[in-house]
Structure 1
Amino acid sequence: MNRAPRGGPYAAERLDADALRDEAVRSTGLADFGAPGHGPALDLLVASLESEARLTPVGRAEARETLLRALRTRLRLHAVPVPPVLPPEPPVVLIGLPRTGSTLLHRLLAHHPALRAPRLWELLAPLTPPGAGTADLVADAERHVAELSRTAPELARIHPTGAREPEECEHLMNTDFRNSVLGMLSYRTPSYARWLAEQDLTAAYALHRAQLAHILARRPAPAGSRLLLKSPSHLWHLPALDRAHPGARYVVLERDVDEAVGSVCGLVAAARRRRSDAVDPVEIGREMTAATHAALSRMHAFTADPSVADRCLTVRFTDLAADPDGTARRVLERLGLTADGALRRRWHEHLSSNPRPDHVHPRESCGLPPVGPRPAPHRTEATP
């Protein structure tokens, strides 16, 4: 699987972009990284991780593994042709800030047989390395999840996942080293984040599309189905996403901005504490307030465009939290799909087995003013 070891001599080793490239080449036997445009992105990300992220040895080892995984995937992408197997129907993409209910809705919709959501194991390894099989890839993803639970139990509780669960396609953005989740939420990398916000991600989304094609070639989607995608990283670069996936349908998750910022701060603090012992909640409050307003401005400009507006459906967090079954059915109806009794029973089982986690918003510690009470937990009424 060519995974970088956790801990050991790698834990304290400084990140170096050229050394990472050399190791990826040695471990795969491949040398073509494709267009050189990824180089400045990787160089800046690595420099920002080393000079600004305040990494612990464990955090540095994790960053190193993430970057090596992305470099190996990039090499494999340029070693084999892209399979022509994307579904004929444009994908359905959930867009919105983190902590707007997108994970809940994504996992409910993914139960529908006409919606194909990539699983975590597929996103971590969109191409199968030589000598590996599906069981190896799933086992690798299970180790990834176990390590998250061990080193960041609070983060795992806020955003629970599993190797075979639908997950955010932001993992596929790592191969071009232009990923807002990686560089804005997971790590403290302000120089990289400022640079990334102004970049054209057309090349990154071309690789995003190519990796989805490889995923579907390995495990085909049912006939007539659509891809179901979601990631908060898309918010800053929606026009590039739309060019890569023409005609995509968008489910726009919205939540009271003050509530969303507070919840995002809790997520970011938990993510960064996994990788650093020097996490400043007040700084996170300032960063996430500015990033949230910038993302919403871009999202609203994109969804208001006449060429896009009729492809968008807005879902409010309060509605989803109060009635996830009814909200998911409304989304399916807009897509021309139905929710039969068997599907609704699967939804009920999912909701019963995955209660909404209690999440305290650290507003005061992040320097943010208080807001009103949170919505009531979702109902799990019996389904006929």
Structure 2
Amino acid sequence: MTGFDTADGARALAEARATSGIDRREPEDFVAALDAFYHFARRGTPDEAGFAQLDAMAQRLLVNRLRFADDLARHPEILDENVADPIVVIGFPRSGTTVLQRMMSADPAMQSLKFWRLLNPAPFPGEAPHEPGGRLVFAEAVADAIRTGNPALHAAHPAVADDADEDWNLHHLSFQHVGHIYTGVPDADYLEYLRTLPRRPSYAYVADLLRYLQWQDGGRRGRKWILKSPVHVGHLEEMLAFHPAATFVYPRRDFRTVVASFCNALEAAQQPHLTRSPAAIGRIALAYWVPEMHRFQQARARLGNRLKMIEVDYRDMLADPIRHIRSFYEQAGIALSDTGETAIRTWIADNPAGKHGINQYSLERYELTEAMVDDAFGFLDATPSTETQLHV
């Protein structure tokens, strides 16, 4: 699928150059992916307000790309930063992945991807790289807009400006990750297009962004990154290509529950401007996740004992998180300190279940049945583990 109109992409790039004051050219493969994004954004957004929202997001991403490239040219030592060994939380939404990431990120001995860093990885002009400044103010405004304007999305995935969030947000800057359909353009044809693109470039680019963020924060200083996103489940080999000593943590929950939850989050994310029906959302959910889980299973078989991955039942993990986090740390070659445990327990106390709202969802709303989900994921062992398992 090629030959997209280039007008929107060219305009957006010109505006980003004018805003940033940086006149750099983007690679052809990136420009093609940007044109595709605008094509599907135009096609799937029925009103100008909705398109303007997506356009503003693209502008923010493009400006950050330019500022990052400019900093990299002036500070090539950024690429010397070591990001080889993160702890990476993978797995479906509603399987405890967000809470696990945020608990471990509360430990000051770990490197945290706070929401304000994800929305604008490049410092604002005139601000010190290590200080939140205007980036935190911007993130607080975004989080407040989601909380007040889209409570369903906030309940599904709370946005908290100064708390950890998914590194999938960094992949937005590539416009090439298959998970880019989450950006507000949940379109089956867009998904098909994204699957034609090579998968490694997005992970190479994000590894450099992590180096950039680490450099801004005074360098590694012994800290491992805590990364998390469901989209990584189909990208084990891509992750390991750029983070060769990664430790993966895979909380598991039954697919009937997590597919319904994913549909709920995807439906909430498209409000109020998009018009895809719940049934269409259900179809997109299966079209996305079934091939990704096939990739996951196949990569595990190829990697064998080169893959360090811990599987855990999400209920067991949430019932005794400190015990499991201590185990995750040990497998990653570090120890949970008393200071870290205290910080994690404080985060838990400050963030009780239901703090940001209660999610309600069902397969039926998306015209899916338990039998359809069971059949779709029948090639996997869908029974969650009851004990933490390590595959090394």
Range of TM-score over shorter length: 0.7 to 0.9
Matched, 1:361 2:372: no
Inter-partner Cα distance in structure 2 for 1:186 and 1:362: 21
User: Which residue does the alignment assign to 1:313?
Assistant: 310
* Corresponding residue for residue 236 of structure 2: 238
**Distance in structure 1 (CA, Å) of the matches to 2:284 and 2:255:** 14
> Which amino acid letter does the alignment assign opposite residue 164 of structure 1?
D
Question: Pairwise mapping of residues 16-95 of structure 1 onto structure 2 (< 5 A)?
Answer: 16-51=8-43, 53-81=44-72, 82=76, 83-87=78-82, 89-95=84-90
What amino acid sits opposite 2:174 in the alignment?
D
Whether 2:342 is the aligned partner of 1:352: answer no
Task: Calculate the TM-score normalised by the size of structure 2.
Answer: 0.83
8 Å CA contact retained: 1:45, 1:183: no
Residue matched to 2:124 = 129
Return the offset for 1:167.
1.0
Corresponding residue for residue 379 of structure 1: none
Deviates more, 1:360-369 or 1:334-343: 334-343
Letter in 1 for 2:176: R
- How far did 1:320 drift? 2.2
| Structure 1 contact 87–224 (Cα < 8 Å) conserved | no
Relative distance call for 1:61 and 1:298 in structure 2 (3 A) is: same
Equivalent-residue separation in structure 2 for 1:59 and 1:364 (angstroms): 28
Which piece of structure 1 moves more, 110-119 or 83-92?
Answer: 83-92
The answer on whether the counterparts of 1:97 and 1:292 sit within 8 Å (CA) in structure 2 is no
Deviations, residues 217-273 of structure 1 (Å, cap 9, x unaligned): 111355222111112222333322221222222112322111110111111111112
Q: Which of these residues, 305, 323, 327, is aligned with residue 330 of structure 1?
A: 327
CA–CA distance in structure 2, aligned partners of residues 88 and 182 of structure 1 = 23
SS of the residue aligned with 2:162? coil
Q: Note the C-alpha offset of 1:148.
A: 1.4
The answer to whether the Cα contact below 8 Å between 1:253 and 1:314 also exists between their aligned partners in 2 is: yes
Q: 1:295 to 1:158 in 2, by over 3 A?
A: same
Name the CA shift for 1:221/1:316 in 2 (closer, same or farther; >3 Å).
farther
Q: Is the 8 A contact 2:153 2:269 kept in 1?
A: yes
Q: Measure the CA separation in 2 of the matches of 1:128 and 1:178.
A: 23
Report the secondary structure of 1:330's partner residue.
Answer: helix
Name the structure 2 match of 1:377: none
Once residues 144 and 46 of structure 2 are traced to their aligned partners in structure 1, the CA distance between those partners, rounded to angstroms, is: 21
> Which ranges in structure 2 are unaligned for 5 or more consecutive residues?
1-6, 372-392
Aligned to 1:268: 266
Deviation at 1:159, TM superposition (A): 1.1
- SS at structure 1 position matched to 2:364: coil
SS in 2 for 1:194: helix
Distance of 1:74 and 1:156 partners within structure 2: 27
Report the residue type matching 2:45 in the other structure: R
Given that 1:303 and 1:309 are in contact with CA atoms closer than 8 Å, whether structure 2 keeps it comes out as no
Query: C-alpha displacement at 1:89, in angstroms?
Result: 4.8
The farther-off stretch of 314-323 and 291-300 is 314-323
Does the CA-based 8 Å contact 2:186-2:284 persist in structure 1? no
What is the distance in 2 between the residues matched to 1:309 and 1:366? Answer: 39
Q: For residues 266 and 77 of structure 1, do their structure 2 counterparts lie closer, same or farther at Cα, with a shift above 3 Å needed?
A: same
Q: CA deviation at 1:55?
A: 4.4
Deviations 1:291-338 (A, max 9, x none): 222221111222333356541111222322333333222212322333
Match runs of 1:75-224 below 5 Å? 75-81=66-72, 82=76, 83-87=78-82, 89-133=84-128, 134-184=132-182, 186-220=184-218, 223-224=221-222
User: Percent identity between the aligned chains?
Assistant: 24
| Residues 86 and 100 of structure 1: CA distance in aligned 2, closer, same or farther (over 3 Å) | farther
**Deviation, structure 1 residue 205:** 1.8
Matched residues in 1 for 2:305 and 2:15: separation? 43
Give the 3-state SS of the residue equivalent to 1:74 in structure 2: helix
Specify which of 254, 276, 279 is matched with residue 276 of structure 2. Answer: 279
Q: Single out whichever of 260-269 and 96-105 deviates more from structure 2.
A: 96-105
- Give structure 1 stretches of 5+ with no counterpart: 1-14, 372-384
Compute the RMSD of aligned alpha carbons.
2.3
Distance, in Å, in 1 between the alignment partners of 2:272 and 2:168 is: 19
Please report how far the alpha carbon of residue 197 of structure 1 lies from its aligned counterpart in structure 2 after TM superposition. Answer: 2.3
In structure 1, the residue corresponding to 2:258 is in which secondary structure? helix
Alpha-carbon distance in structure 2 between the residues aligned to 1:335 and 1:327: 12
CA change 1:151–1:61 in 2 (3 A) is: farther
Q: Distance in 1 between matches of 2:332 and 2:234?
A: 25
User: Is the Cα–Cα contact under 8 Å of residues 49 and 189 in structure 1 kept in the other structure?
Assistant: no
Q: Cα offset for 1:67?
A: 0.5
Partner amino acid, structure 2, of 1:206: A
Q: How many residue pairs were aligned?
A: 355
C-alpha distance in 1, partners of 2:172/2:41? 14
